[in-house]
Amino acid sequence: MLEANQILDLSAIKAILPQRNPILMLDRVQVVDANHLIGVKNLSINEPFFQGHFPGHPIMPGVLQVEAMKQLAEIAVRGELDPSGNGDVYLWKLSKAKFRNPNLPGDRAKVEITVNGIEDGAASITGTVSNSGGVTCEAAFTLKMREKSAPAEMPELFNDYDRAAGFASEITEVTKVMPHRFPFLLIDGIRYMDEAKAVAVKNLTGGEAMFMHAAEDYAVMPETVLCEILAQAGCACVLARPENAGKLGLFAALMDAESFAPVYPGDQLVVDVDLPPARKTFGKGSGKIYVNGKVVFASSLMFAIVDPA
């Protein structure tokens, strides 16, 4: 039971949340009241995600700012959404997230959420992340609880999205235009690409750094990371355009994201993104992620193309 003005240290946070490193995004939490929580995440260059996002230009991924808000909201509502503590509180819908300024090594991120209400098992949340320079991210999203589940069938082997079927861009070619690197490179190749569309493939494996956060009995990919996978497929498409050579692709906003089903180790993700050519430094697109032909996640996104600092 959360109490007003209660301070949660790392041990208390871990007692409530299932997330663990490298995706636990809170170091300390203050319960202002039951519907208003404040957290802090100190940003150190030793964070694994800085090593791959981006080498030489370390920036906290925008989706991890959303993940920090999601985790803080989960602390607030888990007791009501999942009284038994046996379910999976997940990011059901993300109506909008705007990324305004970067968080860099040496920054301290203040994470703040408000629970606007809980109805029919869905918790409506608004939140912000800020540093000493001001707001870096703001979002509105909805959390729900689902029963923990497991894959009911073997993945389809083999199909048109396996590498042997032919990739438009092997991963070695992708990394020539994309700045992302381990452990934050989240596509394995491009099956198809033209000026306005990319179909990427991501093979999920239990050895993935993004699964190392999971509780021992339940490994699913966080929905915020699915947002990043969509974005990286789009990034590969946009940065392959000759006019964008040597530039960075950054999230500006996410809109209307929705999770339809969990994804597990052993799944092959087919990431289909439409990104019409942009006339300016900003562009919009939309995408869906499929597993065995079924949509598991969808989102629209806005991106910015910038020169490295």
Sign for the CA dihedral angle at 42, 213, 259, 253 comes to positive
Asked if 36 is an active-site residue, the reply is no
Q: Taking each helix axis as running N to C, give the angle between helix 62-81 and helix 223-239, from 0 to 180 degrees, rounded to the nearest 10.
A: 160
Cis peptide before 22 (omega within 30 of 0): yes
For residues 186 and 56, give the distance between their C-alpha atoms in angstroms, rounded to a whole number. Answer: 19
Asked if residue 17 lies in contact with residue 268, where contact means CB atoms within 8 angstroms, the answer is no
Considering the candidates 36, 53, 57, 180, report the single residue annotated as catalytic: 53
For residues 46 and 147, give the distance between their C-alpha atoms in angstroms, rounded to a whole number. Answer: 35
Q: What is the DSSP string of 244-287?
A: GTT-EEEEEEEEEEEE-S---TTPEEEEEEE-PPPSSSEEEEEE
Give the residue from 285, 271, 281 showing the smallest Cα distance to 199: 271
Task: Tell the residue number behind the tokens 């959390």, with chain if given.
Answer: 143
Which residues are known catalytic residues?
A: 53
